[in-house]
Structure 1
Amino acid sequence: MKTIFRSLLAAALLTGTSVASFAQSAPAAPAAADTARLTLDASVVNAVNTQSFYLFRQAVQPLIKQMRDKKVVALGEGTHGSAEFYKLRFWLTRILMEDEGFTQVALENTYADCYRLNEALHSRTVGDLKPLMKKHLLSIWQNRETEEMLNWMHTYNTSHLRKVELRGIDGMFGTTAAEVLQEQLARTTPEITALTEQLVQHTQYHDKVWTNLNDRSIPFKRPEMLANGWAGYEATEKLEKALTGIKLTRRQAPVVAGALKNLHHYFDTFYQPKVNKQESSRDSLMAEMTRFLVRDKGSKVIVWAHDAHVSRRLAVPGDNNGGGTGKFLERMFPGQYFVLGSTTATGTVAATTHRFISPLSPMASYPLEAPVAGSWEASLQGLTPAVFYLNTNQLQAADVRRPHRLVGYGPESGKDSYFPFKLSEAYDALLFVRQTTAATPL
């Protein structure tokens, strides 16, 4: 599994070693997992009909009933590139929005970049979304399956008073957030204008550093990168203080607050090692952004992110940042967090060979390796329904710690992609699709 962005960066920051020297594979799972054949009572297997949205809606009503009263519902993915995971999560999202009062869907994508796309979803005529998707979404979201959901959201907004919103919970890039602040604060004070200009420069520089990590011929200038990152953090702090006495309109205030939070998270990678002598936790920051999205009374959100993030338990051995985003969200919203994981056994997956995922990372189709013996995936593929979900609290004695596959944005799906899981510790429910296909690039 490709390491998450913070691990690569933190290693460079804290050790001074060149980023290019760091491997992208997470440590192999310990051998202590149970590999005995799994036997499940048929009553825990809930078959799902995926032939049409309407048949699907009927089949998942018991699952929707569990989700409807939660403040945060996370829809996970066992890979970043399976078409069926995008399609079925879209259908679940549509049901929750149409029937259960959810108005926000938040992607594992930079907050301010989703804000740009969301603006388009509220316009009278949206036209072709592809250029905006290619500019503002990581390449894992640049597929026809995601485009279908975004087009549905726009159509919904044109015919309903209650609008639906696209959000982002990540802070991987900063330029768009800085540009949003520059636009929103253009008519304030010379000091604020100067600070937003500085932030645009710092974020443009730093975003380029991240994308250049994919080109081994470009040298990694650590001292320069560190100086720029810290300067960006200081400029963000100064801007926030300068805004204390500025009165913003009701429309400006939430936009500015979100863009500022995006930049705080973006530069946290530099703040934590320098000030607190510790690594920045991307999972805790994504949870904090999720809390920001549901700060208003009655607001609810659907989160789309990798299983490794939405899981309630530590996904990768050696990760000392407190566990997945789901673990933080459970602490923030006790009893108000529901997480559905999803996994597959065979098929193809869209992935990139880039070391650092960006909107420019090319995606291609790769075959999934056969599940390892004794894994959850190997056991579940032997059950009769091709697509089904199960409630993990019904597994009881069958819920032993066994290998569970987590495929990131890279093409690797072999034995090093498995980690020992008791499903009930990670998810409320698990959606299984026996054979999946690679997501379709735009």
Structure 2
Amino acid sequence: MLDTDQARIRAKALPLTDEASLDPLMDRIGDARYVLLGEASHGTADYYRVRAVLTRRLIEEKGFSFVAVEGDWPDCQAVHCSVVGAPGASEDPGEVLADFRRWPTWMWGNTDVVAFTRWLRRHNEQRPAGHRVGFFGLDVYSLWESLHAVLAHLREHDPDRVEHALEAYRCFEPYTEDPQSYALATRYVPEGCEPQVVSLLTELRRQAAQAAAPDGSLAEFAARQNAEVLAGAERYYRAMLDSGPDSWNIRDHHMTDTLDRLMDHYGPDAKAVVWEHNTHIGDARATDMADTGMVNVGQLVRERHMGAGVVLVGFGSHSGTVIAADAWGEVPRVMGVPPAHAGSLEDLLHRALPGERALFVFPHVQFQRPPASGRGEWYHEEHGHRAIGVVYRPRFESVANYVPTVLAERYDAFCYLDCTHALTPLHPLAAESREEQTWPVGV
């Protein structure tokens, strides 16, 4: 016999068995212009596959304009060029993804993303050149790659301003593309390369505003965006040295600002799908992240654009396997995901829905906890919600892997997949990296 919690959960659960079972979520999305799709790890095939199915429907049935992911702008711009059939671009986006080298390569260099981007290219081949669906990276890490991209653009399109960009290049050059060396150096010269970067960014912002790209070309937009990445990365790496929320907040503000620029570029009718970890797309105000002064993309998009329609979708599972690494920069491997901690959200759902997959669609969000007296709905109660990063140690899974969460405030909908499986990377070996992420580890 089901206990009260299990009965309440089963009463809210919608079967998640095939593409048609996403219909209630499509109805909830309605005319929303922002749909943010999460994942509880970067190494789980099931999350990528459900996201891909839902994204295909959003593109085909609701006319979404582009997919924006937790990836680097330069790498994802190459994928974009492939999926829209840009002149000179690879005809196979899988080849582009196989060339990703920044650790963790498996986040985007995996068979599920290859399958989706190949579908996207086929879809775009049936559409006019100016109405093809894009694929972009929102993240902030590509300091040197973006600097090289700015230089290449200016050498080809505006050689008179190359010297301006070289000032920034010469400032960063002594650090041999090592962000930690640069960050440490700013302890002694606090402004670091900020003046050169800000000067370059100001100039490229002005140029981009003048260009207006009436033919829909991304050339000027991409140059400005690489300069924005350069500025964001410079701030991010300096902030990494301090404990506290600053580096995390710089990163999530940058990703949200990039999303806003893309929406402006695509025009007033644009619609965006975002793929990121739950810790980025689930509203931080419904977690303990807010207690430490952290914000995230989901919160910022809701605050800026709720009037345009924002839907946040989280994911989670109870057990299975995942691709992750034992330490930053190490070779990834398939790891077992142990049963979720007793009392966690995933444990609660597993006891009610053993072996099942379910969709939960919540009432419209209101940031108000239920009163202390009386029992609210289970999805308005706080439970630990598991988050697995690219660095994961299943044997030592701890409270740090669980984010205290009020589910129906953090997300508008939630996909529960009881047992999940590791994705298949395109590269079995990890590239060496000297970069480190900020808390939560590897998300």
Shift of 1:231: 4.6
How many Å apart are 1:318 and its aligned residue?
A: 7.7
What's the offset of the Cα at 1:60? 0.7
Partner of 1:233: 194
Contact kept, 8 Å, 1:174 with 1:204, in 2: the verdict is no
Aligned mates of 2:137, 2:189 — CA distance in 1: 25
Q: CA deviation at 1:103?
A: 1.8
User: Partner amino acid for 2:344?
Assistant: S
Q: Compared with structure 1, are the counterparts of its residues 435 and 239 closer, same or farther at alpha carbon in structure 2 (3 Å cutoff)?
A: same
Q: 1:323 aligns with which of 278, 281, 295?
A: 295
Partner of 1:431: 415
Distance 1:133 1:199, change over 3 A: farther
Call closer, same or farther: CA 1:47–1:254 in 2, change over 3 Å.
same
Matched residue type, 1:142: G
Q: Which residue of 1 aligns with 2:268?
A: 297
- Structure 2 residue corresponding to 1:408, chosen from 385, 389, 400: 389
Which of 110, 121, 141 lines up with 2:72 in the alignment?
110
Tell me the matched-pair count: 387
CA drift of 1:126 comes to 1.4
Which residue number corresponds to residue 259 of structure 1? 226
Note the 1:40-439 alignment, pairs <5 A. 40-49=8-17, 56-123=18-85, 126-127=91-92, 129-135=94-100, 138-139=104-105, 140-161=107-128, 162-186=131-155, 192-200=161-169, 208-210=177-179, 223-224=184-185, 230-243=191-204, 244=206, 248=211, 250=213, 251=217, 252-269=219-236, 279-280=246-247, 281=249, 282-295=251-264, 296-314=267-285, 315=287, 317=289, 320-335=292-307, 336-355=309-328, 362-384=331-353, 386-393=356-363, 397-399=377-379, 400-413=381-394, 414-416=397-399, 417-439=401-423
- Alpha-carbon distance, 1:109 to partner: 1.0
Corresponding residue number in structure 2 for 1:52: none
Looking at structure 1, the residues matched to 235 and 6 of structure 2 have their Cα atoms a distance apart, in angstroms, of 43
Q: Which amino acid in 1 is paired with 2:135?
A: L
Shift in alpha-carbon separation, 1:133–1:104, aligned structure 2, 3 A: farther
Classify the secondary structure of the residue corresponding to 1:160: coil
Distance (whole Å) between structure 2 residues aligned to residue 86 and residue 273 of structure 1: 29
Mean CA deviation greater in 256-265 or 234-243? 234-243
Instruction: Name the SS of the counterpart of 2:8 in structure 1.
Output: coil
Report the Cα distance in structure 1 between the residues aligned to 2:56 and 2:71, rounded to whole angstroms: 20
Letter in 2 for 1:129: G
Call closer, same or farther: CA 1:231–1:171 in 2, change over 3 Å.
Answer: same
Q: Is the 8 A contact 1:106 1:168 kept in 2?
A: yes
User: How far did 1:135 drift?
Assistant: 2.3
- Secondary structure class of the residue paired with 1:294: helix
- The alpha-carbon distance between structure 1 residues 366 and 205, as it changes in their structure 2 partners (threshold 3 A), is farther
Moved more, 72-81 or 159-168: 159-168
- Per-residue CA deviations over 1:81-133 (Å, capped at 9, x if unaligned) read 11100111011111101111102111111223211221122237613624544
Amino acid at match of 1:145: D
Amino acid at match of 1:300: K
Change (3 A) 1:134 1:37: farther
Deviates more, 1:68-77 or 1:178-187: 178-187
Q: Secondary structure at the match of 2:71?
A: strand
Given that residues 93 and 118 in structure 2 are in contact (C-alpha distance below 8 angstroms), is that contact kept between their aligned partners in structure 1?
no
TM-score after normalising by structure 1: 0.78
> How much does 1:224 deviate?
3.5
Q: Is the 8 A contact 2:6 2:352 kept in 1?
A: no
Residues 230 and 362 (structure 1 numbering): CA distance in 2 closer, same or farther, change over 3 Å?
farther
Q: Indicate if the aligned counterparts of 1:192 and 1:242 stay in contact, CA closer than 8 A.
A: no
AA in 1 matched with 2:82: A
Aligned residue identity for 2:231: H
For 2:417 and 2:303, locate their aligned partners in 1 and report how far apart those are by CA, in whole Å: 30
| TM-score between the two structures when normalised by the length of structure 2 | 0.78
Q: 1:242 to 1:108 in 2, by over 3 A?
A: closer
Tell me how far apart the structure 2 counterparts of residues 415 and 309 of structure 1 sit (CA, whole Å). 20
Specify whether residues 59 and 207 from structure 1 end up closer, same or farther in structure 2 by C-alpha distance, changes over 3 A only.
Answer: farther
The 8 Å contact of residues 233 and 270 in structure 1, kept in 2 or not, is answered as no
Structure 1 unmatched ranges of 5 or more: 1-35, 50-55, 214-219
Give the SS at the match of 1:402: strand
| Identity over aligned pairs, percent | 19
Which deviates more from structure 2 when the two are superposed, residues 391-400 or residues 418-427?
A: 391-400
Equivalent pair of 2:100/2:109 in contact (CA under 8 Å): no
**Secondary structure in structure 2 of the residue aligned to 1:382:** helix
RMSD: 3.1
Distance 2:386 2:191 in 1: 37
Worse-matched range after superposition: 300-309 or 282-291: 282-291
Separation in 2, partners of 1:271, 1:70: 36
Check conservation: 1:96, 1:102, Cα contact below 8 A. yes
Shift of 1:189: 5.8
Relative to structure 1, is the Cα distance of residues 112 and 59 closer, same or farther in structure 2, using a 3 angstrom cutoff?
same
Letter in 2 for 1:332: R
Amino acid across the alignment from 2:117: L
Which whole-Å CA distance do the structure 2 matches of 1:229 and 1:154 have between them? Answer: 46
**Contact 2:282–2:411 (CA under 8 A) maintained in structure 1:** yes
Give the counterpart letter for 1:415 in structure 2.
Answer: S
Contact 1:230/1:267 (<8 A) preserved: no
C-alpha separation between the residues in 2 aligned to 1:239 and 1:221? Answer: 19
Q: 1:235 and 1:426, CA in 2 relative to 1: closer, same or farther beyond 3 A? A: same
